Structure 1
Amino acid sequence: MSFNPLEHRGIPLDRQVRNWSELDVRPVDPDTTDPYTKCRIITMNGIEVEAVLFSHQLSRFCPDMDVKRKLAEVRYVEQQQQKAVNWLLPGQASVLETTISYEQVAVDLTAWIARMEPDPYLRQAYEFGVLEDFDHLYRYSNLYEMIEHRRAEKILGGLTEVMPGRPALVEHRHPADNVRDPYDRNTAEFVSKLHALTLVASEQQTMNFYMNTGPLYMEPIARQLYQEIAMIEEEHVTHYGSLIDPGETWWERLVNHEYNECYLYHSFMETETDPRVKALWELHLDMELAHLHIACDLMRQYDGRDPESVVALEMPKPVTFEPNKDYLRHLLATQVDLTTIGAGYVQEAHERFERMQDAVMGGRKPPSERVIDEHREEFGGEYRDLTEGPHPVEELREPIPL
């Protein structure tokens, strides 16, 4: 059924503030909850964090005090939404268990968006990035078994495979080679803008999560692995963020943010399997519809444009968490050896890439390789999910020499 968010006013803003008892949501059960429910929670947390950060940036550059006050009012509700969403995560889950769910989000959300992306250049950017997140899931799964002596499949529910992707060792590129060409805001399909914004928010949240939780571990290899992968997540935020046309006005960006929140809450409301969580998605959608109309009014007033000329009048196909095993195996078999140069992609290691590798490695293996070595020493082999047959790139079974 088609859904045009501009036709629905939602809950008026002055009725959206909730008290503490309403925000004190009961967390999901880490043992019985659908892994993709946790993925939707993590995704929406990242989306709400991005909405708040963007609102702060807009407010700092906006001289109009009335607009600043309106943004602050909406932002307060966005903060409440973020708290209600993120506090659904179970307190008894360890940081590593939550990390594995974060990487499941990165793998299956990025893979789905890549499959749905109509623009070939943008699709290539997403296919490139997902192979690196796929590898991060593999590295953290090895660490999880070493530290907590548990298997990642229990968290992943068998929905996402655990095997090497593009090795983290070769993910350390010169910063200039992480900057992509942006889409053209005048010709890009609106769904492409939503895809880019969604992945920027998701990778930004993952980057921040690793930046803040990594030093909480005592084990040296854990601290080091989080440090390394957090640096790669910075590359990903640059990679996806540069895809957004910098020519979009502040008001256009505000409308895109609010529309994207409506789109994702509507998508997850349509696909959620947990009735209690689904009710929260529905409530937040009703709130975001009002936020979208406020953004549209600001765009009309300060940009002199009709939002209907910018956004889609019918929401795209709902964003869906689902297994992407065959698709990822195809990418592994065809794109695992890619790196970047300028705004494009090459198979050969070039001089700037090699200089960066020398500078970062310092003559020794990075934590992402040492965690595999330590796992082999402790368990006699590396962590691998063998339920789906042999790895499509067999040479990745061997340790990477320096």
Structure 2
Amino acid sequence: MAFNPLEQRGIPLDRQLRNWRELDVTPIDPDRCDPYTRCRVITMNGIEVEAILFSHNFARHCTDKDVRDQLAQVRYIEAQQQKAVNWLLPGVASVLETTIAYEQVAVDLTAWVARAEPDPRLTQAYQFGLLEDFDHLYRYANLYEMIEHRKAESIVDGLTEVMPGRPTPLHHRNPVDNLREPYDASRTDPLSKLHALTIMAAEQQTMNFYMNVGPTYMEPIARRLYQEIGLIEEEHVTHYESLVDQGESWWEQLVNHEYNECYLYHSFMEQESDPKVKQLWELHLNMELEHLHQACELMRRHDGREPSEILAPELPNVLTFEPNKSYVRQVIAEQLDLTTLGTGYVREAHERFEQMQAAVSGDGLPPSDEVMTAHQRTFGRDYRVEDTEHPVPALRQDWNHWERRKR
């Protein structure tokens, strides 16, 4: 049945404040939970963090005291939501285990969005980032086996493949080549706005996570890998945030943020298999409905427009976490050798790309290649879970191909 959040009323704002007991959620069991439950938790944590950061930035640029008061009230509730969601993650999971789950989110969330995106130009942007996150998952899997002597399969549970994508050392580009052409807010499909906000927020949360947990490791090789991939995640945030029309007003952006939260909580509530987590998604959806209505009133009052002018008349089909193995393999086969030049994509290295590669590589191996060398030395092989039914023979030649290209 169609769900239009503009026609639904949620919990009144003055009844949304929760006490400590209510915020003390029971974490998921990492050994028994659906891996996609964990992915939904990580995704919504990133969405709530983005909502909080956006609200802070809006308040810093707003001179209207009444508006700042309203932003502060909603922002505190968003912060409670973020704590409840993030605290669903189990304390017994190691940082590396959570990292691998973050990369599973990046792969399967981005792949689903790329498949569902109506704008081919935006689809290309998601496919480009997808192959890089896919390789990050692979590098961390090698590190995980070296440090904790376990397989990443115990976390992704066969839902997401663990094998090479676009090699991580080749993700370092000149910063100006990470900027894409934005969508036109006056013409684009409302679904495209939701997709761009979702992937931007998810990548931003990954960037923040790596920059904070990386230095907590004692192993030098782990510290170096988090540092390298953390910098690439900054590139990804630049890549995805540049897709958003910079001409959108603060009021329009606020409404889009709140509508997107309704969309995602509704999507995850519809597919959640854990009853307690499903209950939290439903609660937060009913909170967000009221946040959306307040944002819409601000837009009418200060922007002079009806929110229905920019929003979909009803929520799109639910965003779904599901395996994307064949889709990812198809993108690998077609786009493995892409890099960027300006706002576009090219298949050959260019001067700015080569200069950046030389600058960040220095005299030694990049940390992501160092991990591969150390894993090979320890186990006599790299980390690879073979799919005998759907092999990708070309990937057997990937390292030779990229070594020739670098030379």
Superposition deviation, residue 396 in structure 1: 1.6
1:202-223, Cα deviation, whole Å (9 max, x unpaired): 0000000000000000001000
Question: Are residues 399 and 90 of structure 1, via their aligned partners in 2, closer, same or farther at CA, if it must alter by over 3 Å?
Answer: farther
Asked whether the 8 Å contact 1:203–1:237 carries over to 2, the reply is yes
1:91-150 Cα deviation digits (max 9, x unpaired): 000000000000000000000000000101000000000000000000000000000000
| Deviation at residue 313 of structure 1 after TM alignment | 1.2
Q: 1:13 is matched with which residue? A: 13
1:216 and 2:228 correspond: no
- Please say if residues 194 and 256 of structure 1, whose CA atoms lie closer than 8 Å, have aligned partners that are also in contact: yes
- Per the alignment, residue 40 of structure 1 pairs with 40
Q: After TM superposition, give the deviation of residue 390 of structure 1 in Å.
A: 3.0
Structure 2 residue aligned with 1:227: 227
Letter in 2 for 1:64: D
Distance 2:402 2:380 in 1: 17
> Residues of 2 paired with 1:241 and 1:336: CA distance?
23
Cα distance between partner residues in 2 of 1:320 and 1:347:
32
2:14 match: secondary structure: helix
The residue type paired with residue 219 of structure 1 is E
Q: CA RMSD in A?
A: 0.9
1:241-282, Cα deviation, whole Å (9 max, x unpaired): 000000000000000000000000000000111111000000
User: Residue 340 of structure 1 aligns to a residue in which SS?
Assistant: strand
Q: Corresponding residue for 1:393? A: 395
1:101 partner letter: A
Q: Secondary structure at the match of 1:393?
A: helix
State the alpha-carbon separation in 2 of the partners of residues 385 and 396 from structure 1.
Answer: 16
Taking the aligned partners of 1:211 and 1:395, their CA distance within structure 2 comes to 32
What is the 5 A alignment of 1:279-290?
279-290=279-290
Return the alpha-carbon distance in structure 1 between the equivalents of residues 395 and 94 of structure 2. Answer: 32
* 2:238 alignment partner AA: T
- 1:140-151 superposed matches below 5 A: 140-151=140-151
Structure-1 separation of matches of 2:159 and 2:336: 21
Q: Structure 2 counterpart of 1:119, which letter?
A: D
Matched position secondary structure for 2:91: coil
Residue of structure 1 equivalent to 2:78: 78
Counterparts of 2:295 and 2:160, CA distance in 1: 37
How far apart, in 2, do the equivalents of 1:32 and 1:329 lie?
28
Would the aligned equivalents of 1:332 and 1:393 in 2 still touch at CA under 8 Å?
no
Which position in structure 1 is the counterpart of 2:375? 375
Structure 2 distance, partners of 1:250, 1:35, is 36
Which one-letter code corresponds to 2:361 in the other structure? M
**Paired position in structure 1 for 2:303:** 303
Q: Which residue identity is paired with 1:393?
A: L
Q: How much does 1:397 deviate?
A: 5.0
Please tell me the residue identity of whatever aligns with 1:313. Answer: P
Q: Which letter does structure 1 place at the counterpart of 2:187?
A: T
- Whether 2:102 is the aligned partner of 1:102: answer yes
- SS at the partner of 2:340? strand
- Paired residues of 1:214 and 1:227 also in contact (CA < 8 A): yes
Q: For 1:398 and 1:377, locate their aligned partners in 2 and report how far apart those are by CA, in whole Å.
A: 18
Identity %: 68
Q: What TM-score does the superposition give when structure 1 sets the normalisation length?
A: 0.99
CA-to-aligned-CA distance 1:59-95 (integer Å, 9 cap, x gap) = 0100011110110000000000000000000000000
Q: Is the 8 A contact 1:200 1:237 kept in 2?
A: yes
Q: Secondary structure at the match of 2:188?
A: coil
For 1:32-52, what per-residue CA distance to the aligned partner results, in whole angstroms no more than 9, with x for missing partners?
A: 000000000000000000000
Please state if 1:193 is matched with 2:196: no
Partner SS state of residue 345, structure 1:
strand
| 1: CA distance, partners of 2:401 / 2:120 | 33
Deviation at 1:399, TM superposition (A): 8.8
Which residue identity does 2:167 align to in structure 1?
Answer: P
Query: 2:182 maps to what in 1?
Result: 182
Matches within 5 A, 1:2-401: 2-388=2-388, 389-391=390-392, 392-398=394-400, 400-401=402-403
Query: How many residues matched?
Result: 402
5+ residue gaps, structure 2: none
CA distance in 2, matches of 1:201, 1:69: 24
- Mapped partners of 2:257, 2:314: distance in 1: 16
Structure 1 residue 364: Cα displacement: 1.9
- For the residues of structure 2 that align with 1:157 and 1:358, how far apart are their CA atoms? 38
Q: Aligned pair in 2 of structure 1 residues 236, 181: CA closer, same or farther (>3 Å)?
A: same
Instruction: Report the Cα offset of residue 155 of structure 1.
Output: 0.3
Deviations 1:155-190 (A, max 9, x none): 001000000000011100000000000000000000
**Displacement of 1:395:** 1.2
TM-score (norm 2): 0.98
Return the offset for 1:398.
4.6
8 Å contact kept, 1:268–1:319:
yes
Verify the 8 A CA contact 1:369 1:400 in the aligned structure 2: no
- In 1, Cα distance between equivalents of 2:120 and 2:338: 16
| Kept in 2: contact 1:28–1:90 (CA 8 A) | yes
Aligned partner letter, 1:324: N
- Is the Cα contact below 8 Å between 1:369 and 1:399 reproduced in 2? no
Deviations along 1:4-48, one digit per CA (max 9) or x if unpaired, are 000111000000000000000000000000000000000000000
SS at match of 1:185: coil
